[in-house]
């Protein structure tokens, strides 16, 4: 059993909701709690609760976290479509009274070596936990992060681009990557290969299952909003690799995050280091990852490598 806390900016894209759905539909995963981060954390908490309702998982507890960046020195970027296709005005969606940071610290420290933190939004909550209780780094089982870009070229240079979760709060990201905690980093260069299309949306819709239908509606809204015909499954890959590590190829590295206000802010600079603390994903079996996601949601055959 993998015991997780899912720290999410659900609503920024449909992939957070997909990650939560995959976790809820995977018996190997025990969700200790869902924590929300970045901007309108109350709206995000309501979204997570609504997903839990659709998934008939009233046991999934949700805690709202920090609504600003770690230093409060950066604008919050909200797309404006958060909640579209999921929430209605008359939804009564209560979530827990406790702050996400308190919940994470108490849960991790209360069960040393047991809890995996899965971070699929900006790293503000996790950084705040590490400031309040630095021993989180030694007591967490691992931190699986969707964030950053570290594709190494033949010359060992990283790509000079940035990724949303890191660039939104690079100070927080720097603190987390430097904490010494065991980290798995699932970067954009890898997750961009994990995509679904109208075909998968239709398959979800056709199940008639309320959770899948909600996901299908959100994907449809996303197609309209982004004027895209594919939807990127960045965040679900973090959950998928907890189910099957052979989906990804990783290498040990150290990650430095640029966090000053020059143009390179948010870049994740990767250095190969066999004793590094970060397992960086460099490749993914994307067909098998999407297969696993769909099998779990649709309830059919389980991925071949499991």
Q: Examine residue 24 and tell whether it contacts ligand BDR (CB under 6 A).
A: no
Residue with tokens 């895209």: 228
Closest distance between ligand BDR and the C-beta of residue 39, in Å?
12
Cβ contacts of 102 within 8 Å, gap of 6 or more: none
Q: Which stretch binds ligand BDR (CB under 6 A): 7-15, 69-77, 80-88, 205-213?
A: 7-15
Nearer to ligand BDR, 98 or 164 (CB): 164
Nearer to ligand BDR, 174 or 238 (CB): 238
234 catalytic per annotation = yes
Kindly list the residues in this chain that would bind Ca ion in the complex (CB under 5 A). 9, 16, 120-121, 235
Q: Which stretch binds ligand BDR (CB under 6 A): 28-36, 111-119, 158-166, 266-274?
A: 158-166
Q: Examine residue 13 and tell whether it contacts ligand BDR (CB under 6 A).
A: yes
Residue 188 near which of Ca ion, ligand BDR, none (CB within 5-8 Å, type-dependent)? ligand BDR
Q: How many CB atoms lie within 10 A of CB 286?
A: 17
User: Which H or E run includes 5?
Assistant: strand 2-8
Taking the CA atoms of residue 181, residue 41, residue 187 and residue 51 in that order, the dihedral angle to the nearest 10 degrees is: 110
Question: How many residues form the binding site for ligand BDR (CB under 6 A)?
Answer: 12
Q: How many CB atoms lie within 10 A of CB 45?
A: 24
Cβ contacts of 203 within 8 Å, gap of 6 or more: 294, 298
Q: Examine residue 16 and tell whether it contacts ligand BDR (CB under 6 A).
A: yes
CA pair distance 266, 2, nearest whole angstrom: 30
- List active site positions: 234
């Amino acid at each position: 059993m993998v015991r997780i806390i899912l720290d999410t900016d659900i609503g920024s894209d449909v992939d957070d909701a997909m990650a939560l759905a995959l976790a809820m539909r995977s018996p190997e995963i025990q969700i200790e709690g869902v924590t929300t981060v970045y901007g309108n954390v109350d709206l995000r908490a309501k979204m997570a609760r609504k997903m839990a309702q659709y998934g008939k998982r009233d046991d999934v507890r949700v805690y709202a976290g920090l609504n600003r960046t770690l230093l409060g020195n950066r604008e919050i970027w909200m797309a404006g479509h958060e909640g579209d296709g999921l929430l209605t005005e008359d939804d009564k969606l209560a979530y827990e009274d406790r702050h996400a940071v308190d919940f994470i610290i108490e849960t991790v420290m209360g069960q040393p070596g047991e809890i995996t933190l899965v971070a699929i939004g900006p790293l503000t909550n996790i950084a705040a936990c590490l400031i309040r209780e630095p021993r989180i780094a030694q007591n967490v089982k691992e931190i699986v992060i969707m964030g950053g870009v570290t594709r190494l070229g033949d010359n060992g240079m990283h790509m000079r681009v940035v990724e949303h979760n890191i660039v939104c709060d690079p100070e927080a990201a720097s603190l987390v990557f430097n904490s010494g905690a065991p980290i798995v980093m699932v970067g954009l260069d890898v997750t961009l290969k994990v995509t679904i299309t109208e075909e998968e949306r239709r398959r979800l819709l056709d199940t008639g299952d309320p959770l899948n239908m909600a996901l299908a509606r959100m994907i449809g809204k996303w197609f309209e909003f982004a004027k895209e015909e594919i939807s990127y499954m960045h965040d679900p890959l973090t959950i998928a690799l907890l189910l099957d590590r052979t989906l990804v190829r990783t290498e040990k590295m150290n990650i430095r995050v640029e966090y000053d206000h020059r143009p390179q802010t948010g870049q994740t600079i990767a250095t190969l280091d066999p004793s590094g603390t970060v397992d960086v994903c460099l490749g993914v079996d994307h067909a098998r990852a999407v297969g696993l996601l769909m099998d779990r949601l649709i309830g059919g055959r389980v991925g071949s490598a499991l």
